[in-house]
Amino acid sequence: MGGATMEPGAFERLSPSRFVSLVFPNPQPGHPYADSLRVAVLDSPLPTPVPPPCTAAMLVPPGREDDWIFSTAAGHLQLLLSSSSENRPLARLLLVGDVPSSSAKPYYRPQSDPDSDRLLRFQQCLLPLILALSPKAAFCDGLPEIPFLSFEDDVLRLTPVERLVGPAAGEMLVEDVELDRSPSAMPELRRRLRFKRMPNLVQSQVRLVLDSSSSNPGSFRPETGSLVQPYLKPMVAGLSLIAPEVGRQVRSGLMPRALCVGVGGGALLMSLRSSFGFDVVGIEADDVVLNVARQHFGLADDGFLKVGVGDGLVLIKYLSTLKTGQDLNSIHGVSDHNFVALLGDHSSGFDAVMVDLDSEDPGSGVYAPPLEFPERSILMDVRTILKDHGIVVVNVIPPCASFYKQMIDAFGKVFAELYEIDVGNGENYVLVASVSPIGIAASHTEDPFLNKLKEVVGDRYVGAVRRIC
């Protein structure tokens, strides 16, 4: 046994959030796993369930052992949480696979599925080890059944492009992937950004298309403003609620303005600028993420698309304080940010504030926005910096029903109306809150801006906007 050194009987007890990685000889060496196996053991951070606690095992797909989803405690935790259910919460999850290497390697999914009989024999060979690593309480009703869970995604090929470390986001990976779109479409090439602290969550992604301007045949470039991240089209569809007002501004020669809190790869900002003619300001907490967006995802600053580094919530407070004429010295942390050059003249307010921020604590699971965002003081500041017809559009990943209800209640107390778009992926919702009552004007079918929205995001999401408060 390699890796960590454990006291005898250490695994008999559950210890919340304990993560241990061990190395054992492979009881059935050869295809598809090497002579040595890495076995990672993670106990759930949640309270220990009523006995017997449920333990499960998962085989790491061969070739994916370097992927942070399987090689880190953060990725392991998300696998445990996503594999749990209300009726069967997992107390411990074991991952079994090859030993990760020191550097990420390209991955190619095998063209044929593994031999099911051979896989079953391998699982049976592992069973004594799995039982030995199960908590003692699991045996209270006799020998427990330990299910082998399967991991499936749509990645056919994965090529690491660059690994970087940012002061706020930490270690991150830019990767090119080929995704399975069968049976309805051909495989699709995308560029993605993932953070090591939350590797199961794709932070940003854009479609890759052939670069006709390149002298290198077969080279690809990011498709500017492509909205392939599942919740981005619904976020843009939220603008349909203010389509008549935005259309009037455009016809009078005024550019609509948007503040994007959270930049990532910049696809949303580029779409607002290039497809809809918005004057866009973006704020991102990590300068390395901004550099990645420019270098790898096609983000292009210009006079009407400006991005800066800073705390988005501090920027909102700064703008609100400017608009109400209060003392800027009262804002904690504002001295650390050079907002003046970034903002220009935005004293008239924004037509839309687009919020795409997720939690920074992987131990609490994946959720968005951060817990502090729905605080009344922050929502009041957001309302202050919006125009009278303005809206705030928020990507929401609720970890539980109570979180989502609290979000809805908080927005309902500050804004005139609240709308929802179900992204349809079982994970994301988009909330759209308006400063003033929308009325029926937003349904005007002849509005050019609304027609452009439908062209870019489709009728499906524009038609999915429904009032909930």
Indicate the average pLDDT of the chain. Answer: 90
Same domain, 458 and 324: yes
CA distance 282 to 259: 6
Q: Would you say residue 79 lies in a domain?
A: yes
* pLDDT value for 337: 52
CA distance 247 to 448: 7
| Phi, psi angles (nearest 5°) of residue 165 | -130, 125
CATH number at residue 382: 3.40.50.150
Same domain, 144 and 172: no
* Domain housing 357: 232-467
Same domain, 284 and 408: yes
What does the pLDDT average to over 47-56? 86
DSSP 90-156: EEEEEEEEEPPPSS---EE--SSPPPHHHHHHHHHHHHHHHHHTS-GGGGTTSSPP--EE----SEE
Q: Would you say residue 265 lies in a domain?
A: yes
Q: Would you say residue 270 lies in a domain?
A: yes
Predicted confidence band at 111 (pLDDT cuts at 50, 70, 90)? confident
Q: Would you say residue 249 lies in a domain?
A: yes
CA distance 70 to 22: 14
Same domain, 258 and 379: yes
Do residues 311 and 285 lie in contact, with contact meaning Cβ atoms separated by under 8 Å? Answer: yes
Identify the domain boundary among 129, 149, 169: 149
Predicted confidence band at 131 (pLDDT cuts at 50, 70, 90)? very high
Do residues 63 and 101 lie in contact, with contact meaning Cβ atoms separated by under 8 Å? Answer: no
pTM (2 d.p.): 0.92
Predicted confidence (pLDDT) per residue in 238-277, tens digit: 999 999 999 999 889 999 999 999 999 999 999 999 999 9
Same domain, 218 and 239: no
Predicted confidence band at 80 (pLDDT cuts at 50, 70, 90)? very high
Same domain, 380 and 264: yes
| Residue 31: CA count within 13 A, CB half-sphere | 6
Same domain, 129 and 244: no
Alpha-carbon Rg for the chain, nearest whole angstrom, is 25
Closest by Cα among 85, 86, 67 to 76: 67
Identify the domain boundary among 119, 149, 179: 149
Predicted confidence (pLDDT) per residue in 375-404, tens digit: 999 999 999 999 999 999 999 999 889 999
Q: Would you say residue 429 lies in a domain?
A: yes
* pLDDT value for 4: 58
CA distance 460 to 17: 41
Same domain, 54 and 134: yes
Q: How many residues does the chain have?
A: 469
Predicted confidence band at 2 (pLDDT cuts at 50, 70, 90)? very low
Same domain, 160 and 101: no
Same domain, 144 and 51: yes
Predicted confidence (pLDDT) per residue in 400-429, tens digit: 899 999 999 999 999 999 999 999 999 999
Same domain, 434 and 292: yes
3-state SS class at 67: coil
* pLDDT value for 395: 98
Same domain, 376 and 424: yes
Identify the domain boundary among 132, 149, 166: 149
Contacts of residue 212, Cβ cutoff 8 Å, sequence gap at least 6? none
* pLDDT value for 345: 65
Which letter, b or e, does each residue of 94-126 get, where b requires 16 or more Cβ atoms within 10 Å of its Cβ?
Answer: bbbbbbbeeebeebebeeeeeeeeeeeebbeeb
Do residues 232 and 452 lie in contact, with contact meaning Cβ atoms separated by under 8 Å? Answer: no
Per the structure, how many domains does the chain have?
A: 3
CA angle 228, 229, 231 (to 5 degrees): 120
Predicted confidence (pLDDT) per residue in 326-345, tens digit: 777 666 655 545 666 677 66
Closest by Cα among 118, 19, 122 to 78: 19
Which letter, b or e, does each residue of 195-204 get, where b requires 16 or more Cβ atoms within 10 Å of its Cβ?
Answer: bbbbbbbbbb
